[in-house]
A and B are shown apart, each in its own frame.
Chain A
Amino acid sequence: MTDDPELQEIFTDPGHQEVVDLLQSGRPATPPLDPHFRSYLRAKLMTEAHRTLPRQARRSWLGLGFKPRTLALSMAAVAAGFLVVLGVQIYLHGGSTEMGQPVAVDITKTINNKSDVSTAAEPIRIPFSGPVDKNAVAESVVIEPATSVTKQWIGSTLVITPTHALAPNTTYTVRLQASATPAASTPPSVKPTPTAAPSPVVVHFSTVRPPIPPVTAPSFASSNVAWVSDSRLDKSGTILNAVWTGGGQLLATRPAGQPGSAASATPSATPSSSPASGSATDVWLLSQSGTPLLDLAPGASLPSAPSTPAVRMFAAWSVHGGQANLEVRDLQGNLIATVATIKGTPERAAIWLGSDRLAYVDGNGTLNVVDLHGNPIVLPHQVKVSRGSVEASPSGGLIAVDGVEGPVVLDLAGAPAKPLPSGATGFDWSAKGDLAFLVQQPSGSDLYVAADGKQSTRVASSPAGQTWTDLNWAPDASSLLLATKPADSSSGAPSLLVVNRDGSNVVPFGAHTEYTAPEWSPDGNLVLFTRRDDATGGVTFQVATVSISGTNSAEQQAIAEVDRFMKARLAGDRSGALAELDSNGQAAFQSSGAPLTSAAGSTFDRYYPVTVQLTRTTPSTFLIGVRTFIAKPGGAETSFVEEQLMVVQQDQRYLIHDVQASPSQPLSHGPTVVSVEVLQTPPGQQIQVRFDADLKAETVTNGTVQVKTQDGTLIQSQVTFDPETHLATLAVKLRPGTYQLVVTTGVSDINNVPLAQEYDAPLVISR
């Protein structure tokens, strides 16, 4: 019988009520959805919203989403001294007034001589000394690179305001025609005195060099990972299990009836018992600090969430009358679909395969896979599982199963199952697709890693017979957390260790106390774990704050080396520049024809880094693309060259080891690429390409901004473009290797001026 009074009122007939109950007991299958469509549409909408909605309220609602670590690194980069470069030149030629007097612009009241013009959309003020034809002057304003502006007169000052932030590292030119006021009082019969066309007012200025963002995710190598502090999510027994969402919140099973705050006492429970087997439970959304946000699924338990942040869904079991439904809901708690029903009480959460399938073990111990419509996916082999581990690779194509007939890796594409070493269990897949597992031996535990889930290698063993459990990969797959228990449990409490991917440098993580079940948060700032509560004997869920040290010092050293090298070149100090090259670098410069210092009759005026990429870690090797502007002595810049400098750590310092130089390119008025950045966004990457001009958004597509393999094969990508920041973002999935970014001349600015010439840059995806 329905609980909905509206339906109770309409449907009093038992036959109708049965149909209503059937309708309410299930929902239509989740419609198929391209996983990229939602974010694609959002990007388009936000672009339009930023264009059409008033500007004054921006950033007033949701705030800026800086992550502390990102901000800190950015500030560090600022402190490193990446400053601006060019001054502002204002060339003024007046028009004339109706009285025949020249119109002047008072340059002392402009941005004249400012050498660090902010990229913020600050007004450019042009004060006039006399009356001018305001409409004509305003209409004559042209800015290059193409930039959308609003124009407004305040008294005799023309205020030109860019509609959004300017591009960094860019020289802008503002031109306008200082037309005199029309001689309105001149009698029609009197023919105006012809005057020479006034010369344009021309303003040049350059924008700041921005901080260089970190090129690598923080390294979670074991030597860098440090426990800072921990805090309890809630009282013992009030959280029965918990997992991270892809977006960094927590999904927790809590006993039914918990209040929306963390203050109430409840009966003790342990995470090792199946919450679904006890009394009623709810699945809650919690903040990182454990604040209950929303009771997402009353009556449900054992939640699991996909790792992709954009897929804001989760799965959980809901037990009713001897059977359990596997339900998929969004993070508002709305039921999307019931994808499976099993007899009995589930003992484990469902496992997400990517973001569109789920694996679960039914009451018979059989492993099943369904899509989000509830349609079964046929497995290449039927697998029975008792209590063994089951984990899916990040793409969802492989499942490691500790089945009753032995541990295997199942390939959903149909390839034969790959057997794993006998006793393999405790699986965990890294974001890069490596499988880690444990084999318990009489002498202790062996830790194995199988790259891409294939060839497994024993990388470490517990040194004194300890039992290792609870493997969990760090976000960058460079290390693993695990729980260790002494061979003689009476001699010490279980605790956590962190170990590098290659088994090296096994170090304690946190204090020696009863810590188990560690799980990194998606952003790597926190670790969720459990701890025995001495007071109650139960288990509490806690979150540790983690410090990552030494993460980008290598990058900073490499950039500093390039800065020394480039400053010597800009100063014409050939011997100083040579001192920054190793022997291979010197030979490379000779053979490439790239001049170390400027040729006679020109100067190297300024430079800035366009790309910074980590290509190897042993030794640390960076590929840094620098753009150097060439000017006539004391004159304006006329061209630029771009060089890819390979910078390699040698002993205690970095040196330039190789160079690839592009031909000199004349500066033109077409849009230009000013930065390229590769972001690791497991399971793929984002290539961010920033331009200096306002572009026609429809010209920025995966046909004009491409990623290719070295043999020219086009890589499938999805391109979004934010006109506000001139930023094109390509979502790609690239294996480690070298690729080519190509931006074609099909990209054009809002004035239909195309990219001056095709832009090519290497992209290196390192492991």
Chain B
Amino acid sequence: MPDGFEERELVEHAKEDPEAFGALYDRYFPQIYRFAYSRVRDQSLAEDVTSEVFFKALRNIKRYTYSGHPFSSWLYQITLNAVADHYRGAAGKEVELEEGADMPSQAPAVVDEVVRRDRSRRVWAAINQLPQQQRTAMILKFSEDKKIEDIAVIMGKSAGAVKLLLHRGVERLRRELPPQLEAEVGVP
């Protein structure tokens, strides 16, 4: 991965040089698309969101200033906003769970998934059933390998709040996943 200095230099060039912006795009497209898809679970929507993210980045890159966090944090922030904008424009499409809600009734489907797929796939499938904020934090940490401090910047929360989301997410997976997995992970 790029070191911070090299990345900052590239970003500064990208404020004036289309080719440098293209290099940023090449570097960050995979993770932004992957993250967008993880949030919307639809290829066409993920393409729309990814497109919106990079066009917004292009329009606003001159205003971007380095704040000690990776440039990608800024892109993730834009992605979250773009996803939120999308669901605001299509109210009711996203199934949002309350923090205290039980796992959805699709849990048996998850169980089927657990039976069929390998262990890590089962856990990842279950992550998709978490409440939105927990899911975002979990994906950024476990799929995108972000530091907690960076996740906090992306989500506009404190580091402590992110830790809490992660803890609740993992606890919820441990507590509410079907028995097969519970047996595997050693939960009584």
Contact = CB atoms under 8 A, between A and B. Distances in A.
Interface residues of A, number: 52
A48 B43 contact: no
A441 B19 CA distance: 55
Contacts of A41: 25, 29, 47, 50-51, 54
A698 interface: no
Q: For chain B, what secondary structure do more than half of its interface residues adopt (helix, strand, loop), or is it mixed?
A: helix
Interface stretch (A16-24, A221-229, A450-458, A623-631): A16-24
Please indicate which of the listed interface residues A18, A34, A54, A338 has the most CB atoms of chain B within 10 Å of its own CB: A18
B173 interface: yes
Contacts of A27: 120, 124, 143
A72 B174 CA distance: 64
Interface string A497-513: 00000000000000000
Interface stretch (B76-84, B91-99, B104-112, B162-170): B162-170
A462 B144 CA distance: 54
B88 interface: no
B102 to A, nearest CB: 18
Contact of A334 (B17, B31, B118, B121): B31
Contacts of B143: 27-28
B101 interface: no
Given A11-B167, A18-B186, A31-B37, A42 B124 contact: no
Nearest to A56: B16
A754 to B, nearest CB: 28
A18 to B, nearest CB: 4
B25 A42 contact: yes
A45 B1 contact: no
Contacts of A29: 121, 124
Given A28-B38, A48-B55, A14 B17 contact: no
A52 B59 contact: yes
A10 interface: yes
Contacts of A46: 18, 21-22
Interface string A158-201: 00000000000000000000000000000000000000000000
Interface of A: 6-7, 10-11, 14-16, 18-20, 22-34, 37-38, 41-42, 44-46, 48-50, 52-54, 56-62, 312, 330, 332-334, 336, 338, 341, 374
21 contacts: A7-B166, A14-B186, A15-B186, A18-B185, A20-B170, A22-B123, A23-B124, A23-B142, A26-B118, A28-B38, A30-B34, A34-B47, A44-B51, A45-B22, A45-B25, A50-B18, A58-B17, A60-B13, A62-B23, A332-B27, A374-B121
Interface of B: 1, 10, 13, 15-23, 25-27, 29-31, 33-34, 37-38, 43, 46-47, 50-51, 54-55, 58-59, 118-124, 127, 138-139, 141-143, 147-148, 163, 166-167, 170-171, 173-174, 184-187
Top 7 nearest A-B pairs (CB, nearest first) are: A26-B120, A31-B37, A49-B18, A57-B16, A18-B185, A61-B20, A23-B142
